[in-house]
Amino acid sequence: MGVAALIVAAGRGVRVADAGLPKQYLDLAGKPVLRRTLDLFAHRADVDRIQVVIHPGDRFLYDRAAVGYGPGLAPPVGGGATRQLSVLAGLEALAPFDPDRVLIHDAARPFTPADAIGAVMAALASSPGAIAVQPVTDTIKRGQGNGPIVGTVPRDGLWRAQTPQGFHFRSILDAHRRARDAGSTGFTDDAALAEWAGLEVVLVPVEGLNMKITTPEDVTLARAMLTQPFSVAETCTLETRIGNGFDVHRFASGDHVWLCGHRIPHSASLEGHSDADVGLHALTDAVLGAIGDGDIGQHFPPSDPQWKGAASHHFLADAVRRVRARGGRIVNADVTLLCEAPKIAPHRDAMRARLAEILGITIDRVGVKATTTEGLGFTGRREGIAAMAVATVSLPA
């Protein structure tokens, strides 16, 4: 057999008293701690067998927590008087299957990242022992009881020993048997026992949350984390904002117009300080309106010579940056152009593609429509082009 996982769940969890249950059977957002820990290993293709060591009095709790796993989960075995002896009982139960390697893990560490388990396993290719560790971040003091400080322990080279702790199976089984036979039964982790036995153990620094549920505060924290998603984006409630924009530019002499970032040959051009892209201007105001951040004239004043003849996609791109700076995103945009000419339909998809590119969204989220005004008003008299736009923005509340 390749790899076995040995889950140590025999403790009584005396520091946590919640519903009278040992901590490994406490409910964490609908699942017992032990079941969450089992899931860390049960879903791995590189773990062949899982052995749990339990307190003999917890069989009912175990059966309830471990229901529904396949044959890869062995029947539980009863633990011993100390953690060390419980691990030995688990190793002896695995011995007939002769696994190549074993990962020993605390039942009370249900959050261990999959990468950490994989890293410890990988380290066993070049060492008989490997353990997950994280750096000591607090300054360590030595005191006289709770009394005055008698020294500060240099933090360099200090690591917090966690689990999983992986070993070549035959080596750690042999070390455990020798420790028991020598009457040394108080090792608090398997790496300490391995050191005692002269077995080399390497440190595998792991990242992420690998907390051991020990105190009532840990239980509260673990429950809070599971009911509140981890990422900032997820913890924020997203709200939907809508902004609208409107713009008009008059015709002047020329041979093309810019509309929605697309150049169209025409018998006249639109007059303006920039390239007079009425569609982009309306949409820029819609995006700015959705986030309540002024308007295009405020951010790019016509009095500023640097915007003379400017390509208007810069204005829309700036509005999109303002949305992103608030952690938001554009959901969709819709532009309506009002004019008798030029004909918009042949250019519609090119405009949609260009707007989608500037907005950073897919083309199916962009609408471009056109209408005449039936010969009425300034657009009907072909004096200029008007544009209306709506933008929807999703923003953390």
Give the interface with Mg ion as residue ranges (CB under 5 A).
247, 281
Measured from each CB, the residue nearest to Mg ion is 281
Cβ of residue 45: shortest distance to Mg ion, in angstroms? 60
Partnered with residue 329 across adjacent β-strands are 394
* CA atoms of 283 and 368, how far apart (whole Å): 11
Inter-axis angle of helices 33-42 and 114-123, nearest 10? 50
For residues 383 and 245, the answer to whether their CB atoms sit within 8 Å is no
Shortest separation between residue 381's beta carbon and Mg ion, angstroms: 19
Q: How many CB atoms lie within 10 A of CB 273?
A: 17
Residue closer to Mg ion (CB basis): 57 or 302? 302
As measured in angstroms, the least distance from the Cβ of 241 to Mg ion is 22
Distances (CA, A) of 83 to 86, 94, 203, 389: 5, 17, 21, 68
How far apart CA 289 and CA 16 sit, in angstroms, is 53
Cβ atoms within 10 Å, residue 23 = 27
Q: Which is nearer to Mg ion, 189 or 247 (CB)?
A: 247
129-135 and 31-32 as β-strands: parallel, antiparallel, unpaired?
unpaired
| Residues 257, 266 contacting (CB under 8 angstroms) | yes
Rounded to a whole number of angstroms, the minimum distance from the CB of residue 389 to Mg ion is 12
* Residue number, 247 or 334, with CB nearest to Mg ion: 247
For the bound state, the minimum distance from the C-beta of residue 330 to Mg ion, rounded and expressed in Å, comes to: 20
Instruction: Give least dist CB 302 to Mg ion, A.
Output: 9
Q: Which is nearer to Mg ion, 194 or 268 (CB)?
A: 268
The sign one gets for the Cα dihedral 302, 307, 310, 314 is: negative
Q: Do the beta carbons of residue 182 and residue 91 sit within 8 Å?
A: no
Residues in the chain: 397
Residue 347 Cβ, how far from Mg ion at the closest point, in Å? 19
Which residue, 219 or 270, has its beta carbon nearer to Mg ion? 270
> Hey, what are 279's tokens?
């569609």
The residue among 58 and 247 lying less far from Mg ion, judged by its C-beta, is 247
Which of 111, 258 has the CB closer to Mg ion?
258
